[in-house]
Structure 1
Amino acid sequence: MKSTFDQPSTLLRTLGGVTLLALEAPAGPFIVESTDRLSIILHRSASTRTYCKEIGRHFVRRVNDIDVVPAGEVGGYEAESDFNALMVSIPSWMIEEARGDIVEKQTLKARHLLRDHRIVQLVSILEMDRRSGFPSERLFIDGIAMAMTSRLLSLDRPPNYKAGRLSDRQLKRVLDYIEEHMDAQLSLDTLSKVAAVSSSHLRTWFKAATGSSVHRFVLRRRTERAREMLLETALSISEVAEMTGFANQSHLTQWMRRETGSTPRVIRKSR
């Protein structure tokens, strides 16, 4: 992503290539130049009067208004005052994966002043992770980005779209892989290859089969294994966190409290 202004920003870049920019933009031109990435801009200022040269009209952008700039297109506007925004940039391979086989020919459209609660929620989750020091792993970031891309595609999904499912054998392969690689940095890309489906289909079909997102399922299994290790071994809490795939002891504590209502220290003392 390139723009025509200098702005203080905080950048999140994951192994999958997803970026998050927290923008503090001055009045003037706000231009997103053509790249091979999808850009989603979430407006965070109360009220900003803007001018779109393409349409030749003024618009007022408010909190949670969304602009979408597809790969290969130029976007932006002229802002009459300073404003804040969050910009998520998603690599082209995720766009292709999100299209899947059924909507192979579907293209993302440029959008302005879009209002969509689901996209706002997903961008806000990434922003919360940024503010927390980025404790989440690639699987989590990949899932959020894929969900945003799929949501945009669904706005123009053809009426004959039909959802599929994972076979029992495919689901077993994914579950077995998760169990055998609990300490590793898992990603949707890796797990989709295990299942031999697209990342987009895995994300949707896994939840249909298990009632849980891939990321939440993995965290739940990691928490369960960590609890077993705390009760059955003499390993330190930090060692248990590392061996079960958590970023650190604090990350383990956060999710163990959320899943069990207790903490690693309390569980260790209950042996």
Structure 2
Amino acid sequence: MQRQFASAQASAGISIASRHVEAGTYRLPRAHHYRIMVHASVATRTYCNDAGRYFVRRAGDIDFVPAGQEGGFEAETSFDTMEVRLSSAMLEGVASEVGSSAAARRFDTRHLLRDVRIEHLVRVLENDDNASSPSGALFAESVGVALAVRLLALDGLEIDRTVRLSDVQLKRVLEYVDAHLHEPLTIDTLSRVANASSSHLRTWFKAATGMTVHRYVLRRRVERARSLILGGDLSTSEVAYLTGFAHQSHLAHWMRREIGQTPRGLRRTR
């Protein structure tokens, strides 16, 4: 997924790249351009050194780093992000047009913004860049102008406050699932962990992670089983037991569906 910034769009003062970032330190050094990052992975747990606390980044969360400032965080797992670079000249030109010439110099680094318009504009730019015949600099410039106008109103943005699981609630659920994969995990149990009703957990969990609770638990069980098979000498029945599957066939069925491999196939490639 790692791609270079598009030259046609860069000539218009705006460029975009889709990035796959491995777990660890994600650092954005000081630059002459403005950067907008739209998170494209589900439930990535990160640690912010500046704030001194953990955050859970969800798909659609936005990080904004103005020109001359730096940003970054520590990610516990790999993740995907869309990064837009907006030139200072473009943003300051738009600011002058709308009568806010000083606004571009008052930006601060912002994390975990939720704004439907910014997310939509970034995805429009990404889709055009992915097309075999992108619309070129004129289209990219129009998207850049729209982004600049939205960013100039950043302090007054109505952030999406749709009711959802808090970072603390989601973290509790994710950690509980990982610690109890070998046990039965029901909606009722997890709703008590999250301190939410069963119906709300179903809705909010899918909104936060992009998948149902059931599918998330299955995926984590398969990931754990894959790790155990590749990293040790446990039998398939032992792996099935330790990851909450009823029997070997049950494990093999879901491994084939989730990762396209069976325990036997994995052992052959080890």
CA distance in 1, matches of 2:107, 2:142: 18
CA distance in 2, matches of 1:80, 1:44: 15
Given the superposition, is the C-alpha separation of residues 134 and 60 from structure 1 closer, same or farther in structure 2, using an over 3 Å criterion?
farther
CA distance in 1, matches of 2:68, 2:95: 17
Consecutive unaligned residues of structure 2, counting only runs of 5 or more, are 157-270
- Counterpart of 1:50 in structure 2 is 46
Match of 1:11 among 5, 23, 29: 5
1:66 and 2:62 matched = yes
CA distance in 2, matches of 1:80, 1:12: 29
Query: 1:130 offset after TM fit, Å?
Result: 1.7
- Counterpart of 2:138 in structure 1 is 139
CA distance in 2, matches of 1:83, 1:116: 20
**Residue identity matched to 1:60:** V
Deviation string for 1:218-264 (max 9, x for gaps)?
A: xxxxxxxxxxxxxxxxxxxxxxxxxxxxxxxxxxxxxxxxxxxxxxx
**Which protein has the bigger helix share?**
2
**Residue identity matched to 2:140:** I
CA distance in 2, matches of 1:70, 1:25: 21
**Residue identity matched to 2:71:** G
CA distance in 2, matches of 1:49, 1:55: 14
CA distance in 2, matches of 1:133, 1:88: 20
- Counterpart of 2:113 in structure 1 is 114
Query: 1:17 offset after TM fit, Å?
Result: 3.4
Query: 1:136 offset after TM fit, Å?
Result: 0.5
Report percent identity of matched pairs. Answer: 38
CA distance in 2, matches of 1:97, 1:156: 19
- Counterpart of 1:28 in structure 2 is 24
**Residue identity matched to 2:100:** V
- Counterpart of 1:77 in structure 2 is 73
Given the superposition, is the C-alpha separation of residues 17 and 103 from structure 1 closer, same or farther in structure 2, using an over 3 Å criterion?
closer
**Residue identity matched to 2:6:** L
- Counterpart of 1:105 in structure 2 is 102
Given the superposition, is the C-alpha separation of residues 112 and 99 from structure 1 closer, same or farther in structure 2, using an over 3 Å criterion?
same
Given the superposition, is the C-alpha separation of residues 134 and 78 from structure 1 closer, same or farther in structure 2, using an over 3 Å criterion?
farther
CA distance in 2, matches of 1:9, 1:27: 18
- Counterpart of 1:221 in structure 2 is none
Deviation string for 1:111-149 (max 9, x for gaps)?
A: 100000000000000111122125202111011011112
Secondary structure in structure 1 of the residue aligned to 2:16: strand
CA contact (8 A) 2:63 2:112 kept: yes
Query: 1:105 offset after TM fit, Å?
Result: 1.6
Query: 1:12 offset after TM fit, Å?
Result: 1.4
CA distance in 1, matches of 2:56, 2:86: 26
Secondary structure in structure 2 of the residue aligned to 1:9: coil
Consecutive unaligned residues of structure 1, counting only runs of 5 or more, are 1-6, 158-271
* Coordinate RMSD, CA, aligned: 1.8
- Largest Rg, 1 or 2: 2
Query: 1:156 offset after TM fit, Å?
Result: 2.7
Deviation string for 1:30-70 (max 9, x for gaps)?
A: 11110110000000001100000011010000000000000
TM-score, normalising length: structure 2: 0.54
**Residue identity matched to 2:55:** F
**Residue identity matched to 1:115:** R
CA distance in 2, matches of 1:114, 1:134: 32
Query: 1:10 offset after TM fit, Å?
Result: 4.1
CA distance in 2, matches of 1:98, 1:109: 18
Secondary structure in structure 1 of the residue aligned to 2:60: coil
**Residue identity matched to 1:90:** L
TM-score, normalising length: structure 1: 0.53
**Residue identity matched to 1:12:** A
CA contact (8 A) 2:45 2:55 kept: yes
May I ask how many residue pairs the two structures share in their alignment? 152
